Amino acid sequence: MCAEATKLIETFELTPKRLEDADLPLLHELSVGVRWPHRAEDLRLLMEMGEGLIACDPIGRIVGSAMWFPMGTFANIGMVITSPKLQARGTGQWLVEQAIAACGLESYRLNATRAAYRLYISMGFEPVATVHQRQGIVTAPPAVAPVQGQVRPAGAEDLAAIIALDTAANGAPRAELMARLMELGPALVLETAGEVIGAAFRRRAGRGQVIGPVIAPDEDAAMALTAPHLAALEGRFARLDTMRTGARFIDLLEGSGLAPFDTVTHMTLGPVVPRSGAVQHWGLVNQPLG
């Protein structure tokens, strides 16, 4: 990010400023203003895991934000917000350009809302997959088929195996994030013949509980890991974001009260970072982190 970079909006300029801990209330105010469900605690997790900038008007009011989350050779971009009065005036593109310049990598991923989809296409991002946001009051989940192995609570001794699974599914390690998620809520692992082959987390976030990431080698394993979390949340609000379209996995979510709510488009810019293919994410951490 260049120190002299500014953006002229009608009769005033916006100035980018690095996001700092003291800016958390301002970022929360901005997200509430566009009706995003983040709690301050949810934004704090994002700030722990990445970097960002905020755009301020001449009297210091925050009117936009963008964050980036470096993951080796690529970064996720998220929390791109502009206040309603500045939307469709080039502010969003300017924020993303500033984030890319500050990050300085060759490859990027993001999840684009419908409103921002054309903007990202114009910037060279390519659509890869659809992310389905499912949420609702959880009902008793339908029975799932038994799988080989044991679904059990995750412990500290499982962290290394979970990081390895997430690295394979993500294409880059997120060790700090996995460790932090284990602190924020219960996690389950699927163990077969002494080997951890899948994991699923849940935590307090947004309007209730978020299930994710769900990391599994196949649909049966994903269902076996997700169903206990759903059962534990019966009668409460929950959300799960997924790129997967496996019919039985979706039936499990649907039958447990997690109805379709919205979709975003997963997009990439630059060389595609390969995933191993051995395991997949059946549920995301959240949209900014993937």
**For residue 226, how many C-alpha atoms fall within 13 Å in the half-sphere facing its CB?**
38
What pTM, to 2 d.p., does this model score?
A: 0.91
Check whether residue 207 and residue 100 sit in a common domain. Answer: no
Check whether residue 99 and residue 143 sit in a common domain. Answer: no
Residue with tokens 């009706």: 35
Domain boundary residue among 105, 122, 153?
Answer: 105
Residue 1 within any structural domain of the chain = no
* Spatial distance between the Cα atoms of 268 and 257, rounded to a whole number of angstroms: 31
Residue 2 within any structural domain of the chain = no
**Per-block mean pLDDT, blocks of 10 residues, the chain (290 long):** 56 80 92 91 97 86 91 95 73 91 94 94 96 97 93 98 96 96 98 97 97 97 98 98 91 97 97 84 97
* Spatial distance between the Cα atoms of 56 and 107, rounded to a whole number of angstroms: 27
Residue 220 within any structural domain of the chain = yes
Q: What is the pLDDT of residue 59?
A: 79
Structurally, how many domains does the chain consist of?
2
Q: How many residues does the chain have?
A: 290
- Rg over alpha carbons for the chain, rounded to the nearest Å, is 19
Residue 202 within any structural domain of the chain = yes
What end-to-end distance do the CA atoms of the chain give, in Å? 24
- Considering only CA atoms, which of 15, 185, 160 is closest in space to residue 91? 15
Check whether residue 279 and residue 202 sit in a common domain. Answer: yes
Bridge pairing between strands 74-82 and 107-112: parallel
Check whether residue 141 and residue 277 sit in a common domain. Answer: yes
Residue 211 within any structural domain of the chain = yes
Residue with tokens 């800016």: 23
Check whether residue 138 and residue 62 sit in a common domain. Answer: no
Which residues share a beta bridge with 198? 190
Alpha helix stretches (DSSP H) within 86-125? 91-103, 114-122
Q: Which helix (H) or strand (E) holds 268?
A: strand 259-269
Residue with tokens 């700090």: 176
Residue 268 within any structural domain of the chain = no
Q: Is 128 within 8 Å of 113 (Cβ atoms)?
A: no
Two tokens, residue 106: 């060759």
- Considering only CA atoms, which of 283, 262, 158, 266 is closest in space to residue 216? 283
- Considering only CA atoms, which of 169, 135, 122 is closest in space to residue 267? 122
Burial 129-153 (b: 16+ CB within 10 A, else e): eebbbbbbebeebeebeebebebee
Q: Is 283 within 8 Å of 214 (Cβ atoms)?
A: yes
CATH of the domain at 93: 3.40.630.30
Instruction: Look up the domain containing 169 and give its range.
Output: 133-263+273-283
Q: Is 117 within 8 Å of 262 (Cβ atoms)?
A: no
What are the distances in angstroms from CA 71 to CA 11, 163, 211, 254? 38, 13, 22, 33
Check whether residue 277 and residue 147 sit in a common domain. Answer: yes
Q: What is the pLDDT of residue 263?
A: 97
Contacts of 213 (CB under 8 A, 6+ apart): 166, 169, 181, 199, 200, 201, 281, 283, 284, 285
Q: Which helix (H) or strand (E) holds 147?
A: none
* Spatial distance between the Cα atoms of 40 and 170, rounded to a whole number of angstroms: 26
